[in-house]
Structure 1
Amino acid sequence: MAFRTMALVSQTYKSLGLDDPVDGITGTPQVVLSLSFVLDRLIQKNEKLMVASKLKDTVSIFHGSRAPNLSIKQYIERIFKYAGCSPSAFLIAYIYMDRLFQRTGGHLTSLNVNRLLITTIMVAAKFIDDACHNNDYYAKVGGISNAEMNKLELELLFNLDFRLFVTTEVFSKYCEQLGGATIQEYQIQRPIDPRIYESWQDMDNTRSAAKLAGYGCRPL
């Protein structure tokens, strides 16, 4: 059973394009397309739920005054095209978004998705990629100012308590989640899957601290 599970995860990993080197990618990897699909479905469900229940979302620094003109797919493909980060950074970014909502509450909506995407992807790229662009570059890609990019990065890092390490088990579970997203209904009402909830105490603090030392938190 264990070997079968490992084989399925490996297949999903490959199908999402997570095994492709950055320099060898010729098209948009499936992880980017699956993530845009999942986020779009989540937002539709969240906003319908909020209207039906007359629930007002908690406004945060990630909220804009109006919904963006670009679709989620267009925006995330733009980030992939110009940021040059690894496909895995997009999966890690999704995990960071889940962690953020677990700790702060709130809902993923059309008003906060873009700022959350550009911030989590940038932070993920800084943490796991060998090289990445600075905040000013990401700000231009995301269509915001460098000053706002800096504030968004700080807000995310402090809300995550600077805990950016992702275990292999959690990474694999999110792979499975995104891998099946385009072929079955995504049954959650908030951008959090309680089955994948992970305790901060279970993280490898030693490895996390070592990675943070090299994170740089530019331009902090």
Structure 2
Amino acid sequence: LAAKQGGAFGIRANTKEDISEIKKTVDLPVIGIVKRNYEGCDVYITPTMKEIEELMEVKPEIIAIDATVSSRPKGVSVDDFFQKVKEKYPNQLFMADCSTVEEAIHADELGFDFIGTTLVGYTKQSSHLKIEKNNFEILREILKKVKHPVIAEGNINTPQKAKRVLELGAYSVVVGSAITRPQLITKSFAQEIETL
């Protein structure tokens, strides 16, 4: 509700329980995910069909899936997983959470409805990357090379960054921790004060 009152046009939320409550409270579109860890697996954003089924119970407008080359449960490739999901739910919109230009291009070719920069800097293959480096170079590269709308996400933690990614041509922007984690907001104030 606070996000809507502040001017948000949509919500990205984790778990069917949270999404269900959000949908009772606001009429904004929801990007749904389920974060779950599996042993021997680096993927944790909507990693298996179990999480897809949970989300379909609450019908978010978009479901985000990790579309990186990171190791998936039972060694299933993102290609096979997405094909299976799309066959079962052909009318559902899906967002690819990517961490590199190559992953974004691949997700675009697979037919994801939205391409996200969600995991830039958060995977082994992208640990050297920063979304804002060289005036959002990675985002600009992705925008040039994919056909589907790009959602800028991941370390977009200031109003200035949010504005800039939209100026560059992103379809929309997801702001996460800078809004949703009061403990991190408080910590940034406390750390600055400690320098006195």
TM-score calculated relative to the size of structure 1: 0.26
TM-score calculated relative to the size of structure 2: 0.28
Structure with greater proportional helix content: 1
